[in-house]
Amino acid sequence: MRPAILVLCTGNSARSQMAEGLFRHFLGDRFEVHSAGTRPSKVRPEAIAVMAELGIDISGHWSKSVDEFVGREFAYIVTVCDNAKETCPVFHCSAQRIHWSFEDPAAVEGDEETRLSSFRRIRDQIRERVTVFAASV
């Protein structure tokens, strides 16, 4: 059985979904990867679009509640927003906790290109962190 990574955010709609896709892309052969939210909503179409630009398909992803994963064993629990870090339930496992604070691209208002630009910027920041992480494990 492969060790598991859980990526947490508030809505499980953008940052954690992009991170899940990137973790699967770089480490999916070595780790089981999941994402969830403290208040799940739905996957943002902008997240799907900017990940497709990298050749990573997250169109089949859906928002899941962190409660679905309580009691599971994880090697790493990665929070990608400050709110999730503060409200994350306690996992009674030996997981290494990692916190990466990223702005919420879904909070950016404006036309489609403005929103997509914000999602690309955050996607690239997440990709940089995941790439460094992947090289270290």
Which residues are marked as active site? 9, 81, 88
**Cα–Cα distance between 55 and 28 in angstroms, integer?**
15
Given CA atoms 15, 17, 19, 25 in this order, what sign does their dihedral have? Answer: negative
Q: Of 66, 46, 52, 45, whose CA–CA distance to 22 is shortest?
A: 52
In this structure, are strands 32-37 and 4-9 parallel, antiparallel, or unpaired?
A: parallel
Q: How many CB atoms lie within 10 A of CB 3?
A: 14
Please tell me what DSSP assigns to residue 30. Answer: T
Rg (CA), the chain: 14
Please tell me what DSSP assigns to residue 90. Answer: P
